[in-house]
Structure 1
Amino acid sequence: MTTLSNKKFHLAWFLNFITDDWQGTWGDGGRDWSGDFYVEMARDLERACFDYVIIEDKLMVSTAYGGTMEADLKHGVNPKHDPVPLAVLMTQATERLGVVPTMSTSFYPPFLLARLCATIDHIARGRFGWNIVTSAEDRAAQNFGMDRLYEHDERYAMATEYLDLVRQLWDSWEPDAVVRDQETGTYVDHTKVHVVDFVGKYYKSRGPLNTVRSPQGHPVLCQAGASAPGREFAARYADTIVATGSNPTRMKAYRDDIRAKLVAHGRNPDDCKVLFLMSPVVADTVEEAHAKKLRWMSEPRYIEMVLATMSSITEIDFSRFDLDAPLPAVTTNGERGFLEAFARRAEGKTLRQAVIEDGMSGTADFVGTPETVADRMAEIMEEVGGDGFLITSPEKKLNRRYVTEITDGLVPALMRRGVVRTSYTHERFRDNLLEF
C-alpha cells in the first residue's frame, strides 16, 4: 500500500440515462427505461460516499458519423431520456448524494431553468446541481427551430449573460423573505422580493422568480471548461469542473490554470473542485484487468462505437479517417475542448491505438486490482494537488457488476488509504463539496 499524505479528494460519477450494457453478459439487455437501475445505482454511490453524480445529455440523434443516423442508433450513442426527472427520482432515493443533470443554456429559457433549479433544490433538500452546457451540435439546434448553433465563442458569451441573469433571478428572493407571520397574515415580506429588470444583449427578464429561494440559494454549478472561453466561464461560475488529462503533468497544469483564473475573477480557488474523468478497469489480478480491458476495447464494434460517439460530440465525421494513421489536424464548432484533449492523448499514436488505449477519458493509468488502482489514484492526486476523480464506465460497459467493482472494490481500497471520505459530514451538496 502506498503511503502518502492524508489529504482527501472527492469522487463523483458521470453517466448517461440509458442502460449502457445491452449486449454484455451482465447487462439488462437494454429493456429497462424506467430509471430503476439508476436509482439503485444512486443508492450504491451514496453508500460509497460519492459527492455527486452527473447525468449527461444530448438533444438530437446524430448523423455526423458517415452522414447517416445508422451508427448513432446502431450503437445506442444518442438515444437518451431527459435527465431532470431522473435526478428527482435519485434525490428521493438518497439523503446525501448530490445529483447534477445536464441542461443547455442554448435551449432552456433562463426564467424556466432558474425556476426549475430552485424547485428541485427544495425537493432534494439542498442536494441539486446543474451541469451547464451550451450544446455543441447543429443537429440539436435544428430540433429547436434554428438552422445552426451560434459560433463556439459566441455561445460562451451568451452563456455568460445567461448565468448573470439566472443568478439574479435566484437572488430575487432574500433568504428571510418568507416570514409566515400569523398575526399580520403575511406569508412573504414583499420588501424582500425584488424584480431584476434584466436587459442584456441576448436575454431580457423582469423577475422576480415566483419560487421560494432554494435551500442552497444557488444550485451547485458544474461545467466542463476545456477550451479557452470554457475555462474563463468555468472559473467565473463553476463550483466543480469536469476535466480530462492524459497525464499528471497536464492535469496539474490545467488545475493550476483554473485556480489562477479563479483568483483573477476574485474567487477563492478552493471554492471550485476540479475532478478528472477516469474509467477504471479492476479485477482480481493486474493481468486479468489488462486482459479485460483489451477484450472490451479491441473489438471492431467498440472502435466504431467510440468513433461514432466522438463524431456526435465534435460534429466531425471520424469515419473519414484511416484507423491506422495518426489523427489529422481538425477543427470544430462543436465541443472544442474534448477534441483538443483527445488529440493530445492521440499524439504519436494511430487513431486505432488512441481509441483502444485511452478510449474517451484516458484509462491507461487505472487498470489493475482495486489496490493498485487506488495507489495510482492517490499518487496522481498527490502530484496534481487535488481535487478528485469523476468516474465513468468504459463506453457501453455500465452494468451492476461494474458499479459493484467500483463501490465495493475500488472505493474501500481508497478508504483504507484515508484519501476519500468514509461518511458525510453535511446534509447539503455544496457543504460536502467544500469540506476539503
Structure 2
Amino acid sequence: MTADRFHLGWFGAFVPHGWNQPFEGTEASHREWLDGTFHVDLARALDRACFDVLLLEDSSMVSDTYGGTSEATLARGVWAPKGDPLALAPLLTEATEHLGISVTASTSFYPPYVLARAFSTLDHLSGGRAGWNVVTSSEDRAAQNFGLDGLPQHDERYERAEEFIDLVDRLWSSWEPDALVMDRETGVYVDHEKVHPVHFEGRYHRSRGPLNTLPAPQGRPLVSQAGGSPKGRDLAARTADLVMALPKGVPAMKAYRDDIRARAEAFGRDPDDVKVMFIVSPVLGATEAEAAERFERRRQAVRDDPTGQLIGWSGSMEIDFSRFDLDEPLPADARTNGHQSTLETFRTWAGDRTLRQAVEAYRTEAVELVGTPDSVADQMGAIAEEVGGDGFMLWSQPPTRQYVTEVCDGLVPALQRRGLVRTGFSSTQLRDNLLEF
C-alpha cells in the first residue's frame, strides 16, 4: 500500500541567505537577498519542482531579550535584518507561473481594511496565487514599534484575530462576483447595486466598507495559520485553508491533524478543506553515509554552541534564556505571553534533561529525515501513509542555493518517481491546486 499524493511547501523569510556557510556564494551575492535576486531564484526553483506554496514568515522588531541587549541577535542575524515580504511578493509571482506566495501579516498591527485591500491587490497581480499567513504576533518589542506598550494577553490576541479575519472576509465579499459590467452602451463600469458596505461593528474592530478593489481572483486569498495552543488550533480550524504544524514525532503529527480536522468539522467545515502541512528539514546526501555525516555535523554545531537556539527563542517567547543555567533543567516557573506552544513543546521534550542536553537534542522540525533522496522519499511516503497528512513544509535556516538544488533536483524527483507529489498543475490558482488532492 502506498500513500496518496501530498503537497509540498517551502517555509522561508525575506532574510540573508547562508552568508557564513561553506557554499555561501560570492561576496557580491550578499546583496542579492535585499534586491530580491536570491528569493526570485528560490521561487523559480520551487515553481519548476511543482511546489504548491512558498510561505514567507515575518516579524517587526530587533529583539534585545537575550542578555538584555540586541548584541547576540544582530551578531547572528536571528531577528534582523529582515525585509518586508509583502513588498517582495510581486517579484516572486512575476517570476513564476504556478507557485503560490503566502505572506505573513499580523492581526495585531495591520488595520483590517489595509490588509484586505493589499492581499486582494496581490491576488490580482499574481492571477490568483496570493495567500495571507495569519499571525497575532508574540513580542512586546514589536508592539512598541506601533505605539503600544505591549501586546494583549495570548487568548485575547486570538479573540481579536478571529474578529479581524471575520471583518477581512466581509470586506473581500463586499463586491459581488459579477459587479464589474463594463457596459459601453450605458457607460457603466461597475454596477453599484452589487457593491455593499459591510457596516462591521465588533468588539475590537469597526469598518464601514466596502473594499475599493475588484473581487480577488480567488474570491478569498488563501489563508494559512500555524496554531499550536488550544486557541491557536481553534483559529486555524475555523478560518484557515492551510495549517503549518510542528508536533514532534509521527504519533504527535497524526494526533495533531486528527484534532484540527475534528475542530474544523465542529465549526461546520469540510475537514478536507483544511490542509495540514508539517515542517521538516531533510538532510540529504549522495549516500547514506554522507547524509549521516552531514546530520552529525549539524548536531555537533549545536553541541559547540547550544546558545544559538536560545537566542532565537528568547526573542519569540520574550524569556531571557541567558539567565538560566545550561546544566540545570528549564525552571518550572518559566512563562511566556508569546509562543506558548513552542515553550510547552520544548518543556515536554526536555523532561528532566538539563537545558544544554535538551537544546542539543531538540530539532525545529516535526520529524528527522536523513538519507539519500530515494530513502528520504520513502520515509516521507511512509509518514504520510501513517499520519494521513496533507503534505510537508520544507525549511532551511539559513537557506542556501546548494540546499535548494538538493531538494528540487534530488528529493523532489525521487518523490515524483514514487507518485507521491505532483508533476504538474491543473490550475493557475493557489486554492484550486491545494484542494486538488
TM-score (normalizing by structure 1)? 0.95
Identity across matched positions, percent: 54
Partner of 1:15: 12
1:107–1:144 contact (8 Å) kept in structure 2: yes
Partner of 1:339: 343
> What CA distance in whole angstroms lies between the structure 2 residues aligned with 1:291 and 1:358?
18
1:316 pairs with 2:316: no
1:222 pairs with 2:224: yes
The DSSP-based 3-state class of the residue aligned with 1:117 is helix
How far apart are residue 279 of structure 1 and its match? 0.9
> What CA distance in whole angstroms lies between the structure 1 residues aligned with 2:351 and 2:291?
25
2:228–2:341 contact (8 Å) kept in structure 1: yes
Q: Deviations over 1:56-76 (max 9, x none)?
A: 101001011111101110100
How far apart are residue 362 of structure 1 and its match? 4.4
Partner of 1:433: 434
Listed as ranges, the matches of 1:398-413 within 5 Å are 398-413=399-414
Partner of 1:31: 31
Amino acid across the alignment from 2:417: R
Aligned counterpart in structure 2 of residue 391 of structure 1, from 364, 370, 394: 394
Partner of 2:97: 95
Structure 1 gap ranges (5+): none
Number of residue pairs the alignment of both structures matches: 430
> What CA distance in whole angstroms lies between the structure 2 residues aligned with 1:306 and 1:375?
30
> What CA distance in whole angstroms lies between the structure 2 residues aligned with 1:285 and 1:31?
34
> What CA distance in whole angstroms lies between the structure 2 residues aligned with 1:54 and 1:235?
19
Q: Deviations over 1:171-214 (max 9, x none)?
A: 00000000001111110000000000111111110000110001
> What CA distance in whole angstroms lies between the structure 2 residues aligned with 1:31 and 1:353?
37
How far apart are residue 318 of structure 1 and its match? 1.8
Amino acid across the alignment from 2:31: R
1:128–1:220 contact (8 Å) kept in structure 2: yes
Partner of 2:279: 277
Judge which range, 29-38 or 255-264, deviates more.
29-38
Amino acid across the alignment from 1:35: G
> What CA distance in whole angstroms lies between the structure 1 residues aligned with 2:119 and 2:96?
18
The DSSP-based 3-state class of the residue aligned with 1:277 is strand
How far apart are residue 349 of structure 1 and its match? 4.2
The DSSP-based 3-state class of the residue aligned with 2:50 is coil
CA 1:350–1:379 in structure 2 vs 1: closer, same or farther (change >3 Å)?
A: farther
Listed as ranges, the matches of 1:116-135 within 5 Å are 116-135=118-137
> What CA distance in whole angstroms lies between the structure 1 residues aligned with 2:237 and 2:211?
26
Amino acid across the alignment from 2:346: F
Partner of 2:268: 266
> What CA distance in whole angstroms lies between the structure 2 residues aligned with 1:399 and 1:6?
30
Q: Deviations over 1:292-318 (max 9, x none)?
A: 122234226753222111111111122
> What CA distance in whole angstroms lies between the structure 1 residues aligned with 2:300 and 2:146?
38
> What CA distance in whole angstroms lies between the structure 1 residues aligned with 2:384 and 2:184?
54
How far apart are residue 148 of structure 1 and its match? 0.7
Q: Deviations over 1:256-296 (max 9, x none)?
A: 01000000000000001000011111011222212212223
Q: Deviations over 1:347-372 (max 9, x none)?
A: 45443344334332245x30111111
Listed as ranges, the matches of 1:190-205 within 5 Å are 190-205=192-207
Partner of 1:56: 57
CA 1:361–1:326 in structure 2 vs 1: closer, same or farther (change >3 Å)?
A: farther
The DSSP-based 3-state class of the residue aligned with 1:208 is coil
CA 1:354–1:10 in structure 2 vs 1: closer, same or farther (change >3 Å)?
A: farther
CA 1:352–1:298 in structure 2 vs 1: closer, same or farther (change >3 Å)?
A: farther
How far apart are residue 425 of structure 1 and its match? 1.1
> What CA distance in whole angstroms lies between the structure 1 residues aligned with 2:350 and 2:48?
36
> What CA distance in whole angstroms lies between the structure 1 residues aligned with 2:189 and 2:99?
31
Amino acid across the alignment from 1:58: S
Amino acid across the alignment from 1:343: R
> What CA distance in whole angstroms lies between the structure 2 residues aligned with 1:217 and 1:349?
50
Q: Deviations over 1:112-139 (max 9, x none)?
A: 0000010010000000000000100000
Amino acid across the alignment from 2:363: G
Partner of 2:245: 243
CA 1:316–1:219 in structure 2 vs 1: closer, same or farther (change >3 Å)?
A: same
Judge which range, 19-28 or 85-94, deviates more.
19-28
Amino acid across the alignment from 2:394: I
Amino acid across the alignment from 1:291: E
Aligned counterpart in structure 2 of residue 307 of structure 1, from 290, 294, 310: 310
Q: Deviations over 1:85-136 (max 9, x none)?
A: 1111100000100001110011100000000010010000000000000100
1:19–1:399 contact (8 Å) kept in structure 2: no
Aligned counterpart in structure 1 of residue 373 of structure 2, from 367, 370, 374: 370
> What CA distance in whole angstroms lies between the structure 2 residues aligned with 1:357 and 1:424?
39
Aligned counterpart in structure 1 of residue 359 of structure 2, from 333, 348, 355: 355
Amino acid across the alignment from 1:144: F
2:8–2:393 contact (8 Å) kept in structure 1: yes
Judge which range, 340-349 or 50-59, deviates more.
340-349
How far apart are residue 22 of structure 1 and its match? 0.8
CA 1:106–1:71 in structure 2 vs 1: closer, same or farther (change >3 Å)?
A: same
Partner of 1:381: 384
1:296–1:302 contact (8 Å) kept in structure 2: no
2:3–2:384 contact (8 Å) kept in structure 1: no
> What CA distance in whole angstroms lies between the structure 2 residues aligned with 1:374 and 1:345?
26
CA 1:405–1:354 in structure 2 vs 1: closer, same or farther (change >3 Å)?
A: farther
CA 1:98–1:339 in structure 2 vs 1: closer, same or farther (change >3 Å)?
A: same
Partner of 1:328: 331
CA 1:213–1:271 in structure 2 vs 1: closer, same or farther (change >3 Å)?
A: same
> What CA distance in whole angstroms lies between the structure 2 residues aligned with 1:296 and 1:264?
42
> What CA distance in whole angstroms lies between the structure 2 residues aligned with 1:302 and 1:9?
36
Structure 2 gap ranges (5+): none
